[in-house]
Chain A
Amino acid sequence: MEESLFAPGHRACAGCGMPTAIKLVLDAAGPNTIVASPTGCLEVTSTPFPESSWRVPWVHSLFENAAAVASGVEIALKRFGKTDTNVLVIGGDGSTFDIGIGAISGMFDRGHRITYVCYDNEAYMNTGVQRSGSTPFCAKTTTTPTGKLSLGNPRPKKDMPAIAVAHKVPYVATASIAYPVDLRRKVKRSLEADGPAYIQINAPCITGWTFEAGDTIEQARLVVETCLWPLYEYTDGVLTDVKKIRRKRPVTDYLKTQGRYKHLFKAEGGAEVLAQIQAMADANAEKFGLID
């Protein structure tokens, strides 16, 4: 087996979905790749000076500017005639959905040949599980706690892939670490696109979501099978591929396994919320044609 481009020894939590996502992405991209990352779990766990897990050139600047930094890398490579080198951004959902969205919009708008990969663990995990724009409806975080007046995050998850599609970028996809062949194929396709690409990978967070140790991949599979995380692909603005679900599972099969949703099975009003979340999954199944 070839040596991974993301070396072991990093400080990610045991059971974290993110390093698996990174390995799969780099495996597909290959060594002729430069990566820019924003501040976040990936950055702090992979580059404690003087160590680094990166076997490809890697650059980190700030929390909200990775897309701009990557734009500069890509434009410099163009200047030097090195257009065969892949440029990736790999960052979490906080930097992608929230603080860095302006720079991402600029990167999309300018048409850089960059694949932006978001490993999505649905909250600010690096700072201790605070709500992000990616946090799902009624998930509990440390800034959307449950209480007498609260059932967790009051807002649905922001539809970031749709925002990417709206920029008319040539390639947008969602992916999952539970479907590695699909994930690698999508990374490869994104790198062939003549312009910006966006890939959003579901990356379960064992400490933030609280589930059984050893269940990371199972979590990633369940969210797809419940249709809460549809796997799809947009090419030039057109939906070109979806991962069909053979046996659609009820959302409770997924939600009941995680501490962040525990309150929905006990608190008053929880049943209504579960019904609302089921309706979201059903809407996904309908919109993307997930069920034959």
Chain B
Amino acid sequence: MRKVVEGSYAIADAVRCCSPDVVSVYPITPQTHIVEHLSEFVADGKLDCEYINVDSEFSSLSSLIGASAAGARTYTSTTSQGLALMFEVLYNVSGMRLPIVMTTVNRALSAPLSIWNDQQDALGARDSGWIQIYAENVQEAIDLTPQLYKISEDPKILTPSMSCMDGFILTHVYEPVDFLDEEKVKEFLPPFRPEYVLDPKNPKTFGAFADPSWFTEFKYLQFQAMERAKKKITEVSKEFEEIFGRGYGGLIDTYATEDAEVVLVTMGSIVGTIKEAIDELRREGVKVGLVKIRSYRPFPTEDLKVALKDANVIAVIEKDVSMGYESALLTDLKGAFYNSSIRTPIIGFAVGLGGRDIGIKHIRTMVEKASKVKDARIESEFEIFDVKPECL
């Protein structure tokens, strides 16, 4: 069923189709519409679940720990400050191997206060042990929802996951989307039947503490599960495509990379703008392509090596910055190639911070800067893009 709806409504409907047992929420802009629509579904009898309004994001994710440990399929959504408030709980969820699924609406972190989009929030949670997949558009965010449950709940994975979607740009946009068919989702996503639950008939201890003789093993097993998730994400994506007819590649996707000299690497909604810019540039004879990161954690090292091996220069465009160094994806990508035979120059741009608009003309400027690198030395390895001249 194809309809023009707001992105948040579409996500709420996708969550509904996944039949969560417990939804626990706390409102924060620009995530609010998702949870409002979910509450409407419950009020109208369209979603049969326990829906709780809690006292903070800290409590929303914490309550899902209890619910998930008791055997419930769980959902929450947050953004920015809310994700930051959850920080301690994020690590706890992944360490307890609870397959909670969350929509992370990407928004800048204060100060200064900004309700607008960048990806500093989720990238700050990079090492929290959650699978992070970034959606290019609302359709991909819809389709990710059942896929993430399927990935996270796999007994060999048991790792929480977040679907990252850019705040306002995707949550508040009205565009035509295909809704999920509930019956097909049931066929695709089996019910959640965890092996270990809080059950008085079979008492188990959840969340024991580990001294130095055990902690490493917990982390090793978590690490291995995340490694297994790489294959699982690709498999689930293919399986989804077979049933629903929409595919997005695996851990990454590529656009016009075959003969590309300059290859851009990015994630999230900016992919759409970049594709437009590439179409323009290609018509003018500029050989530019794009690698879209879907899965940021687990990091698609091997896929990136294959996709980027023939580029003359790589330019990473991302909406975050690590004060005192550079941006996260740039660092990760350089690290991924260091011990390989790939010696392609890599530069990076931090763009769109706190919701600054990035248009085709900006992409063209970055491609131009990257094109200069291929013949000469790297002038600037990293820059915060589009800064007012008076601050430079």
Contact = CB atoms under 8 A, between A and B. Distances in A.
Interface of A: 31-34, 36, 43-44, 47-52, 54-62, 64-65, 67-80, 85, 102-103, 105-106, 109-110
B29 interface: no
A69 B22 contact: no
B70 A60 contact: no
A62 B63 contact: no
Interface string B57-71: 011101111111111
A60 B89 CA distance: 12
Given A34-B200, A50-B214, A72-B62, 10 more contacts: A52-B205, A54-B203, A57-B206, A59-B69, A68-B54, A69-B63, A72-B70, A73-B198, A75-B66, A76-B22
B18 to A, nearest CB: 15
Given A55-B203, A59-B198, A85-B200, A43 B54 contact: no
Contact of A76 (B56, B58, B72, B208): B72
Interface of B: 21-22, 24, 49-50, 52-56, 58-60, 62-72, 74, 88-89, 92, 96, 198-200, 202-211, 214
B208 to A, nearest CB: 4
A210 to B, nearest CB: 26
Contacts of B202: 57
A78 B68 CA distance: 13
Most chain A CB atoms below 10 A, which of B56, B92, B198, B214 = B198
A59 B206 contact: yes
B58 A68 contact: yes
A57 B208 CA distance: 12
A110 B92 contact: no
Contacts of B65: 59, 61, 65, 68-69, 72
A32 B206 CA distance: 17
Contacts of B92: 61-62
Contacts of B52: 71, 75, 110
B59 A36 contact: no
A53 to B, nearest CB: 9
B207 A61 contact: yes
Contact of B205 (A47, A68, A80): A47
B88 A73 contact: no
Contact of B68 (A67, A72, A102): A72
Nearest to B218: A49
Given A65-B59, A68-B62, A110-B52, A73 B69 contact: yes
Nearest to B72: A76
Nearest to B91: A62
A257 B92 CA distance: 41
Pairs A-B, 6 closest by C-beta atoms: A72-B66, A106-B55, A68-B62, A65-B62, A60-B207, A76-B70
A76 B71 contact: yes
Contacts of B88: 62
Contacts of B208: 47-52, 60
B209 A48 contact: yes
B63 A79 contact: no
A70 B66 contact: yes
Nearest to B67: A72
19 contacts: A49-B209, A49-B211, A58-B205, A58-B206, A61-B92, A62-B89, A69-B63, A71-B63, A72-B69, A72-B72, A75-B52, A76-B66, A79-B21, A79-B49, A80-B70, A102-B55, A103-B58, A106-B56, A110-B53
Nearest to A51: B208
Given A47-B205, A57-B200, A68 B66 contact: yes
A47 B202 CA distance: 17
B71 A80 contact: yes
A110 B208 CA distance: 28
A239 B199 CA distance: 35
A31 to B, nearest CB: 6
B110 to A, nearest CB: 20
Contact of B50 (A55, A76, A85, A103): A76
Nearest to A65: B62
A68 B206 contact: no
Contact of A71 (B54, B74, B198, B205): B54
A34 B54 contact: no
A5 B368 CA distance: 70
Contacts of B54: 68, 71, 106, 110
A179 B138 CA distance: 61
A44 B209 contact: yes
Contacts of A80: 21, 70-72
A105 B70 CA distance: 22
Given A62-B92, A106-B59, A73 B67 contact: yes
B70 A77 contact: yes
A76 B49 CA distance: 10
Most chain B CB atoms below 10 A, which of A44, A49, A56, A61 = A61
Contact of A103 (B49, B62, B69, B210): B62
A54 B198 CA distance: 12
B249 to A, nearest CB: 35
Given A48-B208, A72-B63, A106-B59, A57 B21 contact: no
A117 to B, nearest CB: 16
A56 B53 CA distance: 28
Given A48-B208, A72-B62, A103-B58, A34 B198 contact: yes
Contacts of B96: 61
A49 B214 contact: yes
B198 A47 contact: no
B63 A75 contact: yes
A73 B66 contact: yes
Contact of B200 (A32, A67, A69, A102): A32
B160 to A, nearest CB: 13
Contact of B62 (A49, A62, A109): A62
B198 A57 contact: yes
B205 to A, nearest CB: 4
Contacts of A65: 58-59, 62, 65, 89
